[in-house]
Amino acid sequence: MIRLDAERSVSFCDGMRRRDFLHAGALSLLGLGLTDHFRLKAAGAIDRGREKNCIFLMLVGGPSQLDLWDMKPNAPSEIRGPYKPIRTNVPGIEISEIFPRMARQADKYALLRSCYHTAAAVHDTGHQMMQTGRLFQGGIEHPSVGCVLSKLRGPRGDAPPHVLLPRPIGATGGNMPHGHSAGFLGKQYDPFILNSDPSQPNFRVPDMLPPDYITAARTDRRRRLREMVDGSVAELESAFKASQDARLLDDNFNQAYTLMSSAKMREAFDLTKEDEKTRDRYGRNRFGMSCLLARRMIERGVRYVTINMFETVFNEITWDIHGSAPFSPIACYRDLVGPMFDNGYSSLLEDLHDRGLLEDTLVVATGEFGRTPKINPAGGRDHWPQCWTMLMAGGGVRGGQVIGSSDEIGAYPKDRPVAPGEVAATICHSLGIEPETELPGVQGRPIRVVEHGINPIHELF
Amino acid sequence: MKRAILILMALAFGIWSNAGGGEAIASRAAGKEATSEPLLFDTTRPPAEVTTPADGWSFRNHVIPVLTRLGCNSGACHGALAGKGGFKLTLRGYDPELDFNVLTRQTQGRRVNRNEPSRSLLLLKPTMTIGHGGGKRLDVGSLEYKVLSEWIAGGLTAPAESDARIVGLELSQRSLTLGTGAEAQLRVIARYSDNHREDVTRWVKYSTADAGVATVDDDGKIKVTGHGETAISLWYQSNVSFARVTNPWPREIRPEVFAASPRAGFIDDLVIARLQQLRIAPSDQSSDREFIRRAFLDATGTLPTPGEVAGFLADQSPQKRTKLIDSLLAREEYTDYWTNRFADTLLVSSRLLRDNAMWSFYNWIREGVRTNKPYDRMVREIVTANGNTLENGAANYYVLHKETTELNENFSMAFLGMSITCARCHNHPLEKWTQKQYYQMANLFARIGMKNGTRDGDVQVYSNPFGEVNHPRLGRPLPPAPLDGQTLAFDATIDRREHLANWLTSPSNPYFARSFVNRVWKNFMGRGLVEAVDDMRATNPASNEELLAALTKDFTDHGFDLRHLTRTIMNSAAYQRSATPNETNTQDERYYSRYIPRRLPAEALLDGISQVTGVPTEFAGQPPGTRAMQIPDAKLANYFLTVFGKPPRLITVESERTAEPSVAQALHTINGETLNQKLRSPGGLVDSFVRLGVSDEMAVHHLYLAALSRPPRPDEEARLLAAIRQSDSRRQAIEDIAWALLTSKEFLFNH
């Protein structure tokens, strides 16, 4: 609990004396190192204006197109799989029976049934391409769209511009970067990473507030003392200036102080502020609670939220239904993963819609690839980047439509193939980022946000 | 720019350097004698001038490379696991026999038409004469069309065991120095087992390691885009090589700068030569204060005490740094530190082992490090380990790796510094490793038996007389062989792991010692000569290849002695340079012109905080006084260690450990209990200062020496003393000063 009044006056090492005030926000007003952008915006309330947000749901593991959103009920049984299609509230659109709640609001999202990529069929490449629009080559790591947004727009008030929930993707077999970070833009544009499981009963962001024996005045004194120590050896300062990690450390401290001093952001992470019914509606699991957190983030000014539905594909029930250990069986879609997604995703769309936020918030849900049309001998499906289905809602996207289609067995796009670059271009378009915007790349050479010749999927809007 | 190309073309015909198949790096011999054997054909000539070989085009050696160049057998097209449009080739042609059957036998032979080659689907489709989902890939007038149509007309020669095989790639240049904007054309010649040579420039796959320095197109044309150095790697039918492109920074540095920079041995000769070539001036040498802190942290993961710092500063001997290094190598903390590093690589944890077995493995490693067991012997003992795991700790390696593919892959990461995972399903796309080699290697592990021992937690590991690992596609086992080592007969009497150990630990193994030396080098220098340290592909050359070769040779010449290697590195002037950049090396983190600051490892950080505050950390289940660096078990939960990047030891990969800062770390340092409790703990340092009536001056001095190994500067001291005087609570003020020191970059980083 933060205390709201002073006990005594304290002095600072610069000799000034100040009242020992403890109201929330004091630290940020005192604290230096905030960006000019923030200074300008901090004066008033959050001015959301017409700026758009994005929630990007990375469905780690690679959901099957055939069992979920692009069913082929007339195909042979080894293709069509165990599930049946059901009707949605949009005539002509059918999805899998494992998504009853999604079926009731198909008017809110568009299905893109002709996604594909051409890189190696390992998880990591798809993660890279879906989050950044590009495959990493020639030693260049591209930034995720969320990090591009951080770079171009900065924070909105004291909310970090880009938050990643709940944790970064770990090992998925390829030993490659997964594309959630800022890459060549520099680590200062990396997302704020929660690194904690919001479905735990006593979930909180660790260490958001000082222990009760450290007053805000002491916190502030410590901060000033630390800055003095850091700045006192010139030769070291120049060594640290040349170190990306040292610069990042300074940014991290500034960001930490901003979070601490913002009652609004502390509250954003406090899921106990949501009633039990709401939490049940989202599903009391990591993904459901991450979706709920994402809504709370967007409500408080975060621009971009990345949610990783799973952290790995090994020894965990995920979309990665190879059928044999250490991966998942196809039945897990009905028993666990499907309901988890249905509840989290549907609740998120409902709430954003009810709060009037959906129009300003693009919600993207995609895996890193699809799955083999033919069921394998272990009763599962293997990696298949040649064709899959993704979902887009809000942010100007017209719901209730289907973009593209696949062939009769869901193996290849039949019309309007959608490549990862187009997806990234579409997110940029919705966020109002001009595709020809140039970012400072390696050795200062400009790199376009969206590669020349790649266009957003205009028919979505 | 044109002139540059002309000169390079001239060079191309004059000097051919030689890169033997697997020993591309070992046999670096720029300017080796040109081979006089004429070329069988030359893909850089206009198609009409390319002579058809007397024996016709070979399916294995010509048709497959053409299909690869055209992209037909790529993963996005017919090389996909399920093929495309009912036509399936093996990924990049890793199985020519299978591809031959698919092309000539399936679909009633419509894919190839001997009587009218131009009516073959193989030619009609990619030229878009008839519809092709993959679009137009082939021109009728091209060399590739000529090869395919002549192979069809010539009678569809099948791949045969007797086909000549590639034994090496020759490059027009192994090393090019060019300015920004310059272009150059690489040329590549494949040398075959029957001694004939072919110019295959058009069919090679090229890629660049750093597109910020130079790019390369599909035809091998290089374009320089920025300053520095990059490698252009080449892949041709699972043979690999690379050319280095250097673009020195455009500035002049007087030769005296390099001549005057101190040198302590071969490391410095080679580092300085590189810096001179790239025009980067080295930083000055570190001060004694900087050096002692750095050396303690890098070699032992501990901070020097104020007494040790004072003693070192007072020592007048010119040899005192060498003496300090020797004394560090003899310390228990050195053993703890390197045991912890080995335990990371070997995945020591109670996740899959009982506590007693985990301890047995840990103690076995620790004893090896303590007695300086040669690295080759240590690894040999792991590879060939048999017996009860509670007695022979090394045997636990196999209990941790019961699954053969996982073992094969973690093993290659740990001891060869390379990932062979790609080759589990198909030939490695960037490397020479084939799927066959992968399963030949896996088959070396086919005969490891395990049964429960007599005691709880004990497992008996033994060598089975039988057992094979099947190649999944062929459905049969392949003769066991360690990657590019000698193949063993199925019925050979030697233990398969014995054979693997012989290959692995041989001083001539091009990967084993090299990858270890690179890891140790990174520990001290902040960056591997090869980055990442577990990506030691032949196509990922070192930033200073000569230096890595020399270090590796020195290491093996000295009996795989880790302490010798440590001593050699720490005594170099390169290691002892200051972290402060000059105007020429601010950008350099690759060529060792200055010491690269880095955040302390999680364990060293926590131990340092415990040491300075005088309050040890308690770890569940560990005896009191155990330091974080001494924790054997990765499963032991500690929030501080986790948030600061101690690896969970789930798979062998360098990126499990991170030294990257994060907001969570900052929050934990500011608000977390770890540091805050130690600062206010009764009996801790601050508490003792207050209770014993230590003066403000002495308290501040002691804190600086303990945390930063230096006294406060006068201005710092004045401000801190003022802060204490003005504070209502002296104790809290000292706590806050200690906090500021322990969270400063100067403390959190080694520099």
Query: What is the interface pTM, i.e. ipTM, of the complex?
Result: 0.86
Question: Which chain A residue is nearest to residue B710, measuring alpha carbons?
Answer: A233
pLDDT digits over B103-124, tens only?
Answer: 998 877 789 998 899 999 999 9
10 Å CB burial of residue B450 (0-12, 13-18, 19+) is: middle
pLDDT at A40: 33
- Contact partners, residue B421, CB within 8 Å, separation at least 6: A173, A174, A175, B409
Give the residues of chain A that fall short of pLDDT 50.
Answer: 1-48
Mutate to test the interface with B, among A178, A236, A247 (most CBs of B within 10 A): A236
Taking every pair of C-alpha atoms in chain A, what is the biggest distance, in angstroms? 81
Alpha-carbon gap, residue B222 to B216, rounded angstroms:
4
Window B:585-614, CB contacts with A under 8 Å: 586-587, 594, 596-599
Using DSSP's 3-state secondary structure scheme, residue A307 falls into strand
Q: How confident is the prediction for chain B on average, in pLDDT?
A: 92
Chain B residues lying within 8 Å of A208, measured CB to CB? 667, 671
| Cβ–Cβ < 8 Å for B431, B539 | yes
Chain A 71-100, residues with CB within 8 Å of chain B CB atoms: none
> Any idea where the domains of chain B sit in the sequence?
2-42+164-247, 59-153, 334-505, 602-643+661-750
Region B291-315: mean pLDDT is 97
pLDDT of residue B237 exceeding 80: yes
Residue identified by tokens 């020191």 is: B741
pTM: 0.85
Is a pLDDT exceeding 70 seen at residue B7? no
Cβ–Cβ < 8 Å for B260, B570: no
Angle (CA) A77-A82-A87 rounded to 5° is 105
| Residue B27 banded pLDDT, cuts 50, 70, 90 | very low
Interhelix angle for B685-692 vs B602-613, to 10°? 10
At B167, is the secondary structure helix, strand, or coil?
strand
Tell me, yes or no, if B421 comes closer than 8 A to chain A by beta carbon: yes
Confirm or reject contact between B487 and chain A (CB < 8 A).
Answer: no
Q: Is A168 on the interface with B (CB under 8 A)?
A: no
Please indicate whether, in this complex, the C-beta atoms of B680 and A246 are within 8 angstroms of each other. Answer: no
- Put simply, whether A229 touches B (Cβ < 8 Å) is yes
- Name every chain A residue with its beta carbon within 8 A of the beta carbon of B212: 138-140, 441-443, 445
Cα(A429)–Cα(A426) distance, integer angstroms: 5
Determine phi and psi for B386, rounding to 5 degrees.
-140, 165
Orientation angle between helical segments B714-726 and A216-231, nearest 10 degrees: 170
Contact B207 A138 (CB under 8 A): yes
**Mean per-residue pLDDT for B716-743?**
96
Q: For residue B8, is pLDDT > 80?
A: no
CA distance A394 to chain B (A): 30
pLDDT at A32: 31
Is residue A219 a contact partner of residue A207, using CB atoms and an 8 Å limit? no
Q: Which pLDDT does position B35 carry in this prediction?
A: 52
List, for residues B185-233, the tens digit of each pLDDT value.
999 999 999 999 999 999 999 999 899 899 999 999 999 999 999 999 9
Place of tokens 């609570």: B729
Q: Residue A432's closest CA among A353, A364, A362?
A: A362
Answer yes or no: is pLDDT of B24 > 80: no
**Would you call A29 an interface residue with chain B, using a CB distance cutoff of 8 Å?**
no
Q: What pLDDT score does A49 carry?
A: 55
Residue B746: the pLDDT is 97
Q: What count of residues does chain B have?
A: 751
Residue B728: which of A10, A226, A386 has the nearest Cβ? Answer: A10
Q: Is A439 on the interface with B (CB under 8 A)?
A: no
The reported pLDDT for the residue numbered B597 is 97
Domains and CATH numbers, chain A: 1-6+24-47+206-268 (no CATH), 52-205+274-460 (3.40.720.10)
Contacts of A12 in chain B (CB under 8 A): 723
Top-tier CATH class for B2-42+164-247: mainly beta
CB within 8 Å of chain B, chain A residues 238-267 = 238-240, 242-243, 245-246, 248-250, 252-253, 255-257, 259-260
Sheet of B221-224, strand order: B183-185, B221-224, B214-216
User: A378 touching B, CB under 8 A?
Assistant: no
Asked if A240 and B743 come within 8 Å (Cβ–Cβ), the reply is no
Question: Is the predicted pLDDT of residue B42 greater than 50, yes or no?
Answer: yes
In Å, how far is B94's CA from the nearest CA of chain A? 16
Structure token pair of residue A429: 């378009």
Of the candidates A79, A127, A85, A118, the one whose C-alpha atom is nearest the C-alpha of residue A102 is: A85
Residues B181/B224, Cβ–Cβ less than 8 Å: yes
H or E element in which residue A290 lies: helix A286-299
pLDDT digits (tens, 9 = 90+) for A9-40: 333 333 333 333 333 334 443 333 334 334 33
